[in-house]
Amino acid sequence: MSEGRGALPWESDTHEQPVETRDNDGAGGISESSAHEWALLKGRIHRRLLEKLNLATLEKTDRATVVEAIRRVVHELLSSEKVPLNFDEREDLVTQILDEIFGLGPLEPLMKDPEVSDILVNTWNQVFIERHGKIEETDIQFQDERHLLQVIDRIVSAVGRRIDDSSPMVDARLPDGSRVNAIIRPLAIDGAHLSIRKFKRDAFSGEDLVELDTMTNPMLQLLSGIVKARINVLISGGTGSGKTTLLNALSAYIPASERIVTIEDSAELQLRQPHVVRLETRTPNIEGEGAVPSRALVINALRMRPDRIIVGEVRGAEAVDMLQAMNTGHDGSLTTLHANSPRDALARLETMVSMANLNLPERAIRHQVASAIQVVIQVARLSDGTRKIAQISEITGMEGDVITMQEIFTFERTGIGEEGKVVGQFLATGIRPKFTDRLLAYGVGLPATLFDNVADNRGRR
C-alpha cells in the first residue's frame, strides 16, 4: 500500500497555485483560517525538498547532520516563497516537515509529551489520548485517510511487516519500544485505526507506586520480600490496569546474581539486572510461515539455564509450560494475565492449560496451578483513572476439587469524593500468610504488626 518514498497526502494538482494568506492582525503570516494554504505550502516545500536532496545518501549520515541539512534547505526554499513567515512559523514548518519525513506526522508532538501514555486514532480526523489515566479528545487530525495509512505503513514496514487488504491488522513496535496496533478496511468499517501504547523510559519503582497510592509501604515490604524469597507470582488485571508497570517494579527486587529470561509479545520490560536474556515472539511472514509463539519461547527458555522466567503475559497454551517451569525448580518466576479477580485469574489459567490439548483432568490442572503459584496480585484501574493493587491473595492449596485462597491485603472502596475521585482505604485482613517461614529462610524479616487488621489511611484518596 506504500505510495512511494516521501509522497505526502497533501501533494495535489493544486500545489503550484500561489498561496494567498490572510492575517487578522496585519502582522503577516498564516492565520488559523488558512490551514488549507498552510498544508499546500508544506506539501510544496516537501516536494521541492525531495528534488534537491538525495535521501538515499542522507540515510547513511547521522541523524543530527541530516536534520541540519534539511533545515537549511527548507529555509532556503522558504526564502523563495512569496509567503511572509516569521521565525517561529518557519521553525514550526521545518519541524512539521521533519516529523513527516522521520516521525509520525501530526502524532509526533504527542509522542514527545511525557504525560501522554496512550494515543488512540479513531480514523484520520479523530485522535484521543490517555493522560493521567483519563481519556481525552485532541484537536489533532491527519489530512485524510491516505495520510494516516502512510504513517501506519511507515511504522509496520520499519519492522519488516505489512498491512494491506490481505493482512489488514498488525502489531508492531516503534524504535523507542512503544507498542503499536493498526487495523484498516475492510475490518475497520469507518477507516483505519491506530493505537499506540507509549514506552516509558523510566519505569516506576516500588517507592514510586507507594507515592502514587497504588499500594502502601507495608504492601511493598511484603511484595519485595515475596520476590526476594523466590515465590511464584501471578499479576492479574484488566487492560491498562498497570500489570506490566507492577511487574517492572517488582522485578527490581530480583538479586543481580540471578540469570533471568524474559518472554514477551512486544518487549516492554525494563530489567536493570546485568544477566538478562530478552526473548520476543514473532508473527508469521507474508507467506504465513515463520511464526514463533510464546509457548515455543517458554520451552526454549527452559534449555537456557534460567534462574527465573518472566512471561510478560500468558494468553494461551504457553501457560502449561510456564506452570511446569514453576513446578520444576524455577522458583520466583513472574507472569501476568487479563482477569477481573484472583479467582477469575485461576479460572482463566485453567482454560489456557486446556488449550495445550494434553487431555488432563480438571482436578490435575487445578493441582498444577495450586502447586505452581503461591501469590496472586490483583490490580485495577478505577473510575477516576488511578491504579490500585486491589488484592494480594495467597494460594493455600486445595480442598477437594477447589483451589483455596486467602486475602492478605485488599483495597476497600467507600465512595466517590470531589471531582469524581474514588475514596477508599487499603486494609490488612489480619491473616498471616503461610509462606512467612519461607520469607525468614531467605532473610526477609517482616514486622509482626504488618498483617494487623487495620486500615492504612495512607491509601485513602
Give the tens place of pLDDT for each residue, 21-75.
334 443 444 444 466 776 677 667 767 776 676 655 655 667 677 778 778 887 7
Q: What is the pLDDT of residues 276-314, one digit of tens each?
A: 999 999 877 777 788 899 999 999 999 999 999 999 999
pLDDT at 205: 94
What pLDDT was estimated at residue 122?
95
Q: What is the mean pLDDT of the chain?
A: 85
Cell of 436: 512467612
Length of the chain: 461
**233 close to 226: Cβ distance less than 8 angstroms:** yes
What grid cell was written down for 71?
A: 533545515
pTM: 0.78
Strands 308-311 and 260-264: parallel
Question: Does residue 410 have a pLDDT over 90?
Answer: yes
- At the topology level, CATH places domain 108-197 in Beta-Lactamase (3.30.450)
The three cell numbers locating residue 426: 487499603
Determine if the peptide bond prior to 168 is cis (ω within 30°).
Answer: no
Query: Would the pLDDT of 180 be above 60?
Result: yes
Average pLDDT over residues 81-89: 73
Q: What percent of the chain has pLDDT over 90?
A: 55
C-alpha cell at 205: 519503582
Distance CA 308, CA 277 (A): 11
* C-alpha 110, offset from chain centre: 15
Q: What percent of the chain has pLDDT over 70?
A: 85
Averaged pLDDT, 114-129: 94
Q: Which residue has the higher pLDDT, 262 or 19?
A: 262
Residue 220 has pLDDT above 90, yes or no: yes
- Cα(100)–Cα(108) distance, rounded to whole angstroms? 9
**Per-residue pLDDT for 382 more than 70?**
yes
**What is the distance between the alpha carbons of residues 305 and 325, in angstroms, rounded to a whole number?**
11
The CATH architecture annotation of domain 206-459 reads 3-Layer(aba) Sandwich (3.40)
How many CB atoms within 10 Å of residue 34? 18
Whole-number pLDDT of residue 4: 39
Q: Which of 276, 288, 358 is nearest to 318 (CA)?
A: 358
Residue 458 has pLDDT above 70, yes or no: no
Please say if the pLDDT value at position 14 is more than 50.
no
- Residue 231 phi/psi, 5-degree rounding, is -95, 135
SS3 for the chain, per residue? CCCCCCCCCCCCCCCCCCCCCCCCCCCCCCCHHHHHHHHHHHHHHHHHHHHHCCHHHHCCCCHHHHHHHHHHHHHHHHHCCCCCCCHHHHHHHHHHHHHHHHCCHHHHHHHHCCCEEEEEEECCCCEEEEECCEEEECCCCCCCHHHHHHHHHHHHHHCCCCCECCECEEEEECCCCCEEEEECCCCCCCCCEEEEECCCCCCCCHHHHHHCCCCCHHHHHHHHHHHHCCCCEEEEECCCCCHHHHHHHHHCCCCCCCCEEEEECCCCCCCCCCCEEEEECECCCCCCCCCECHHHHHHHHCCCCCCEEEECCCCCCHHHHHHHHHHCCCCCCEEEEECCCHHHHHHHHHHHHHCCCCCCCHHHHHHHHHHHCCEEEEEEECCCCCEEEEEEEEEEEEECCEEEEEEEEEEEEEEECHHHCEEEEEEECCCCCCCHHHHHHCCCCCCHHHHCCCEEHHHCC
Of 381, 452, 382, 460, the closest CA to residue 213 belongs to 460
Greater confidence, 133 or 123?
Answer: 123
Distance, CA of 388 to CA of 379 (rounded, Å): 6
Grid cell, residue 181, equals 496496533
pLDDT tier for residue 374 given thresholds of 50, 70 and 90: very high
- The pLDDT score that the predictor gives to residue 461 is 41
Give the model's pLDDT for residue 11.
38
pLDDT of residue 149: 93
- Average pLDDT score over residue span 141-157: 89
Residues 261 and 310 sit within 8 Å (Cβ to Cβ): yes
Q: What integer pLDDT is reported at residue 58 of this predicted model?
A: 59
The residue ranges of every structural domain in the chain are 1-102, 108-197, 206-459
Contact 281, 172 (CB under 8 A): no
The angle formed by the CA atoms of residues 394, 237 and 416, to the nearest 5 degrees, is 100
**Is 434 a residue whose pLDDT tops 50?**
yes
